[in-house]
Structure 1
Amino acid sequence: MTDEYSSTELLTTVASKLIDDGSSVMVGTGMPMLTALLAQQTHAPDATLIYEAGGIGAQAPALPVSVGDERTFHRGIAATGMHDVMSYGQAGHIDCGFLGGAQIDRYGNLNSTVIGPQESPAVRFPGSGGANDIGSWAADTIIVIRQREESFVEELDFRTTPGYLDGPGAREEAGLPRDTGPSRVITQYGVYRFDEETKEMTLQSLHPGVDVEVINEQSGFEIQIPDEYGHNPQPTDEELRILREEIDPRGIIR
């Protein structure tokens, strides 16, 4: 083991372990690409990586800079388009999607649209892209986000992507598919899950060297902390070698 790693490298290695071999994974730009490529080169060689612009089953020779990069089609099983990819998802063929955002609430709803009132926002982001679609119909959604009090909020400035909406039963009442929704949130402090009964964010495991007190110090809402929770391993030397030498040698995302 090594103690020399960045928080991004830690988040990437923890998140990659949540990708099952043989699963179909919707991959977004940035850290989700690092995560998916690391899983593909380690424990999940038969995971099918699906990119929003239409690349399916690619084996990227180097880190793509976006979901539309030509490397997202390299040695793939299909070069389709956004319409086909979203249709496959709507039909229930996506096992897992990775998402991020500017804000998240206790139920896993995400904002990637605006900070402040929509009519005159302090900050305007690119918007949903495919995030609303993925959060609506993917069998499982994993959220990777930097945690601070300003991003973990009691009330979103704008709800771009549904988590569990207002709590238990709300997704189904809104017409979203049953047995879907976010399962994990990964931050620089640890991994969270959603309580089966309340659908509220709950600590699952801490990263190395993190004190449990920081979890709620850096959140605008109360994160449930059970009596027992796990601890995540450090990145291995081999995982760091693959990230640094094979996937992202220029440190574009790392």
Structure 2
Amino acid sequence: MLLAGNIEYTPQEMIVVAGARILEDKKVVFVGTGLPMIATVLAIRTHAPGIIPVFEAGAVGPTLESGLPFSVGDSRTSSGASYVRGLNAAFEMTQRGFCDYGFVGGAEIDPYGNLNSTMMGKFPEEYQKPAVRLPGSGGASDMASSCERTILIMPHEPRRFSETISYITSPGYLDGSPGARKRAGLTGAGPWRVITTKAVMDFDPETRRMRLLHTMPGETPESVQAATGFTLGIAPAVTGMAPPTETELRMIREEIDPLGVFVKKPVREKPVPNQF
């Protein structure tokens, strides 16, 4: 549990707040299920009312005022939408360059922002019977391939940040070589930010390797590196991310996700009663 003044908050809430803060107004955002939804709605209700959300099932520009969608196909993603045309039309928008940002998550990530959400084990030998079978791509690979920029969200642990990942589900900068994405036929510019429970990272414009940009409250460059399975670069000016404000936490807990469907509220341990 973390503290912002006298208010307790969780690392999960900090990820949502960081995701909301880096979104800019009047941008088209391809929104995935879960924390990306919360971050997008929070951004709309704080500093970026002109964001146009796009959902995989085909809704473009909904107001998101009828309650939190539980999935990208929830009927609430269509409420007040500019239009609804289906999955193919939604992804066509990304391929035509009309989506500024896409939120993507995964289980494993390498220094070049390639994400694995498919399987853990040796590929291709163990693909059919991997050590761990993950959920798969869904629309994540399409988003990572075609959105102008992608924002990657995941927990920060050494086993998740690996020099070499088991499988590339969602492409980042591939091998990091100049023009690698273009040679592979990918139209989007690639990963832009990685938001974790410990830090916000970007990518070196020359080497395309991940580097530290902001530390989360209570973290240092040293603690972030210790939780990373490869050597992180360091941006020219690393700064600390400010803790959530009271307004941001109230919106998440009371207005956006009051049931705690995606963002769990802090739970204070109950004191053990004196038995004597």
TM-score by length of 1: 0.96
Q: Does 1:147 align with 2:156?
A: yes
1:103 to 100, 103, 108: 108
| Cα distance in structure 1, aligned partners of 2:218 and 2:224 | 13
User: In the superposition, relative to structure 1, how do residues 227 and 195 fare at CA in structure 2: closer, same or farther (>3 Å)?
Assistant: closer
| Cα distance in structure 2, aligned partners of 1:49 and 1:62 | 14
Contact 1:148–1:218 (8 Å) recurs in 2:
yes
Contact 2:15–2:195 (8 Å) recurs in 1:
yes
Q: Does 1:171 align with 2:187?
A: no
Matching residue's letter, 1:30: G
Q: How does 1:196-207 map to 2 (within 5 A)?
A: 196-207=205-216
Q: Does 1:194 align with 2:198?
A: no
Consecutive unaligned residues in structure 1, runs of 5 or more: none
| 1:157 match | 166
Q: Deviations over 1:180-236 (max 9, x none)?
A: 100100111110000001000000010111122222211211111346411101111
The SS at the match of 1:14 is helix
2:72 to 67, 70, 77: 67
| 2:271 match | none
User: How far 1:30 moved relative to its partner?
Assistant: 0.6
Contact 1:21–1:44 (8 Å) recurs in 2:
yes
1:32 to 31, 36, 39: 36
| 1:82 match | 87
Matching residue's letter, 1:112: S
The SS at the match of 1:92 is coil
Matching residue's letter, 2:111: R
Matching residue's letter, 2:12: T
User: In the superposition, relative to structure 1, how do residues 119 and 17 fare at CA in structure 2: closer, same or farther (>3 Å)?
Assistant: same
| Cα distance in structure 1, aligned partners of 2:182 and 2:91 | 20
The SS at the match of 1:34 is helix
1:20 to 24, 29, 43: 24
User: How far 1:126 moved relative to its partner?
Assistant: 2.2
Alignment coverage as a number of residue pairs: 253
| 1:49 match | 53
Q: Deviations over 1:142-197 (max 9, x none)?
A: 001101111111111110011000013211222222x6100100111110000001
Point out 4+ residue stretches in structure 1 off by more than 4 angstroms: none
| 2:269 match | none
| Cα distance in structure 1, aligned partners of 2:120 and 2:207 | 27
The SS at the match of 2:193 is strand
Contact 2:212–2:221 (8 Å) recurs in 1:
no
Structure 1 range deviating more: 128-137 or 1-10? 1-10
Q: Does 1:114 align with 2:119?
A: yes
| Cα distance in structure 1, aligned partners of 2:84 and 2:99 | 17
User: How far 1:140 moved relative to its partner?
Assistant: 0.6
The SS at the match of 1:4 is strand
| Cα distance in structure 2, aligned partners of 1:44 and 1:20 | 6
The structure with more radius of gyration = 2
- Identity percentage of aligned residues: 42
| Cα distance in structure 2, aligned partners of 1:8 and 1:228 | 25
The SS at the match of 1:142 is strand
Contact 2:110–2:164 (8 Å) recurs in 1:
yes
TM-score by length of 2: 0.89
| 2:250 match | 241
The SS at the match of 1:225 is strand
Contact 1:168–1:197 (8 Å) recurs in 2:
no
Across the aligned residues of Structure 1 and Structure 2, the Cα RMSD in angstroms comes to 1.3
User: In the superposition, relative to structure 1, how do residues 226 and 48 fare at CA in structure 2: closer, same or farther (>3 Å)?
Assistant: closer
